[in-house]
Amino acid sequence: MMELVCPAGTPAALRAAVEAGAHAVYCGFSDETNARNFPGLNFSPEELVPAVAGAHKRGAKVLVALNTFPRAGGEKLWHQRLADAEAAGVDAVILADIGLLDYAATHHPNLRRHLSVQAAAANPDAINFYAEAFDVKRVVLPRVLTVAEISAINKEIDVETEAFVFGGLCVMAEGRCALSSYATGLSPNMNGVCSPASHVVYAEEGPDLAAKLGGFTIHRTPKDRPAPYPTLCKGCFTSGEQTGHVFEDPVSLDARHLIPALAKAGVTALKIEGRQRSRAYVAEVVRAFRAATDALADGRELPLAELARLTEGQSATAGAYAKTWR
Amino acid sequence: MDLTVGSNLFFWTADATRKFYADLAQAPVSRVVVGEVVCSKRLPFWEAEIPTALATLQEAGKDVAISTLGLVTLKRERNQTDDIFGMGVPVEINDITALKHLPENTPFWVGPLVNVYNEGTVAYLARRGATRICLPPELPLASIATLAKAGKEAGVKIEVWGHGRLPLAISARCYHARLNDRAKDNCQFICGEDLDGREVDTLDGQAFLSVNGVQTLSAATGCAAYHTEALREAGVDSLRLSPQTGDFNALCAGYADRIAGNISPEALVAQLLPEAPGGRFADGFFTGPSGSDWAHPIPA
């Protein structure tokens, strides 16, 4: 059975995901130690303890993301969070930074380590390096690979792989992008945020609504139409004669059709993005994907229509899983 | 503090490359990194120049290294990464993949595309044999100072991005190809038309980013002219200058004058701005509030 790894931005979302059938949930602490460091989101060390116990009671695993790159001079906070995670009895931590991986392997050898997508390990050599150097047991694959490439990678590695199937989509190699800090001073790697709301301004300019990030116009839409959030890499820009979405259209990832192919490619776990999403959204997505993984395990046809409802009215892409994306 | 010239991030012809390195042999820089960082498809067009460039630079007394690719995905790229360690020249790694290919007891350099954010990472890389690390451009001065100290303790020289469009992101997708409605596999090497990258403006016409194949850089040119004293004081060993078109040796000489205290930051900026790709500078990663910032007078 493929493991379904689901987002939990809050204790309530964690319970909702587990009740909806998540095999595992992932979450973070309420600080810069994780890549979804948003106001009102995440767990205090005290909140994590009953959340882990509750999930375990229902047979679900809890994975804790400590996937930012510790600040020079401030590593102690990340080290403390590793200890907090282990004390709460979590099933694994998800790490990206070499220094933190080294520290965890040395000081918390029994705490299972997964490699975060923020480490962008995109080939068997990189994955085997992390496995050998830090005894990483699972790698979350970057969203830059085709299914064929994932299959080839799995033939050359011994650790498990986890692949994103639904939700937000980074078009840059994850963990290797400073676009957000160039525009706002805050980045995923250092601060756990990308295109932060604190730097967003919507300005009425003539007939348009301009969505700006750090003073740079990312979108411009007619006032009477909904303006998309100004995520930098999904913006509309001009280059020479061309105007459009230079990097990526404002789409989200939807690879549900590829679940059987990913299973065949040797993927252990399917990951759903969205720790910033509501409890109701998480429950709905998890229920639909759990029906799909159950169907796959039983050899039944996948109930894809159920999943189709979730992306209704939105643009979705299979991303790099389809080679034409590049 | 001395000067290092990083790998040329852009796609230049073999002729232009040959001339660039032949000239660079006369520039007042201590070391030069040569090699393809951005796209393996470019390499066949100019790789024959690499041995000549390395030999010319070494004869001129420069330390040299050869760089690995920044994002390794294909089997061919993994093999290339492996081959680089057999070339008898120090290697600058720009992707962690290279550590898997690193022979035992081999010193190496670490380029600016590798995530080195803290003392733990400096210490680990030093144990593996790193002797120089060029820090990622997004680090603020406070972090740079902490890491320079960590570098001294670990026996690693610390380098900082000094001049050049700032490398901000790398992707599996080629934006140069996408801008020309082509797929990466059928790119027809369109990135070779933009020798300093292709500019991407906001819908308001504000210069913002530049694309260089699979890489995204700033539109403004990163410039450390106002921070050389602070960087030296922080214990930084070297400033990295990134190849660009125009009189690059004069650019190197300008920075050499600047770090020797012979010219002011204003004078260096006035000298370099006319040839700066994008026509403006940024140095906000050092002191904030954002990387694109430039809070200094702009010469008339």
Q: Give the percent of chain A with pLDDT over 70.
A: 96
- Of residues B97, B146, B170, nearest to A125 (C-beta): B97
Q: Given a cut of 80, is residue A267 above it in pLDDT?
A: yes
Task: Measure the CA–CA gap between B20 and B23, rounded to whole angstroms.
Answer: 5
Rounded to whole angstroms, how far apart are CA atoms B137 and B6? 13
The answer on whether A177 is annotated among ligand-binding residues is yes
Q: What are the helix (H) ranges across chain B?
A: 14-24, 43-46, 49-59, 75-84, 97-101, 119-128, 141-154, 175-179, 228-233, 248-259, 265-272, 284-287
Reduced to 3 states, what is the DSSP secondary structure of residue A245? Answer: coil
Q: pLDDT exceeding 90 applies to what percent of chain A?
A: 80
Say whether pLDDT at A170 is over 90. Answer: no
CA proximity to A242, closest of B216, B220, B198, B280: B198
Q: Report chain B (300 residues): mean pLDDT per 10 consecutive residues.
A: 98 98 98 97 96 97 97 92 92 96 92 98 97 98 98 98 98 92 88 97 96 97 98 98 98 98 97 95 97 89
Give residues 100 to 139 of B whose Cβ lies within 8 Å of A: 100-101, 113, 115, 117-125, 136-139
Minimal-distance CA residue of chain A relative to B180: A242
pLDDT at A323: 64
Boundaries of every domain in chain A = 3-169+251-325, 179-244
Q: Is residue A322 pLDDT above 90, yes or no?
A: no
The pLDDT value recorded for residue A312 is: 60
A194 is in an annotated binding site: yes
Contacts of B96 in chain A (CB under 8 A): 98, 119, 121, 126, 129-130
Residue A159 CA to residue B180 CA, distance in Å, equals 39
Task: Please report the DSSP string for A22-82 in residue order.
Answer: -SEEEE-BSSTTSS---TT-SB-HHHHHHHHHHHHHTT-EEEEEE-S-PPTT-HHHHHHHH
Measured between beta carbons, which residues in chain B are less than 8 angstroms from residue A129?
Answer: 96-97, 99-100
pLDDT band of A227, cuts 50, 70, 90: confident
The DSSP secondary-structure symbol of A267 reads -
Confidence of residue A249 (pLDDT cuts 50, 70, 90): confident
Query: Could you tell me the two tokens for B164?
Result: 């050049």
Predicted confidence at residue A325, as pLDDT, reads 67
Cβ distance A178 to B198 less than 8 Å, yes or no, reads: no
Asked if pLDDT for residue A256 goes beyond 90, the answer is: no
| CB < 8 Å from A in window 6-65 of B | none
pLDDT exceeds cutoff 90 at A228: no
Residue B240 in tokens: 């990295």
Burial of B3 (0-12, 13-18, 19+ CB in 10 A): buried
Neighbours of A83 (CB within 10 A): 13
What pLDDT shows up at residue A154? 98
- The answer to whether A183 faces chain B, any CB pair under 8 Å, is yes
Across chain A, mean pLDDT equals 93
DSSP B175: H
Bridge-based pairing state of the strands B130-134 and A138-140: unpaired
The residues with which B5 forms a beta bridge, in sequence order, are B32, B241
Fold topology of A3-169+251-325: TIM Barrel (3.20.20)
Query: Is A170 labelled as part of a ligand binding site?
Result: yes
**Mean pLDDT of the A249-267 span:** 91
Helix (H, G, I), strand (E, B) or coil at B266: helix
For A11-36, the pLDDT digits (tens) are: 999 999 999 999 999 999 999 999 88
Mean predicted confidence (pLDDT) in A49-78: 98
Please judge whether A326 and B172 are an interchain contact, meaning their C-beta atoms are less than 8 angstroms apart: yes
- The per-residue pLDDT for A230 is 94
Alpha-carbon torsion angle B233, B239, B245, B246, nearest 10: 50
- Residue B20: name the closest of B225, B247, B271, B211 by CA: B247
Q: What pLDDT score was predicted for residue B286?
A: 98
CB atoms B179 and A239 under 8 Å: yes
CATH topology of domain B2-165+222-274: TIM Barrel (3.20.20)
Residue A233, annotated as binding a ligand: yes
Q: Is B201 on the interface with A (CB under 8 A)?
A: yes
- Cα–Cα distance measured from residue B41 to residue B43, given in angstroms and rounded to the nearest whole number: 6
Q: Minimal CA–CA distance to A94: which of A73, A69, A67?
A: A67
Question: Which residues, at least 6 apart from B72, have a Cβ–Cβ distance to it below 8 Å?
Answer: A122, A123, A125, A126, B78, B81, B95, B97, B98
- In the structure, what pLDDT confidence band is assigned to residue A314 with cuts at 50, 70 and 90? low
Domain ranges of chain B: 2-165+222-274
A194 vs A178: CA distance, rounded Å: 9
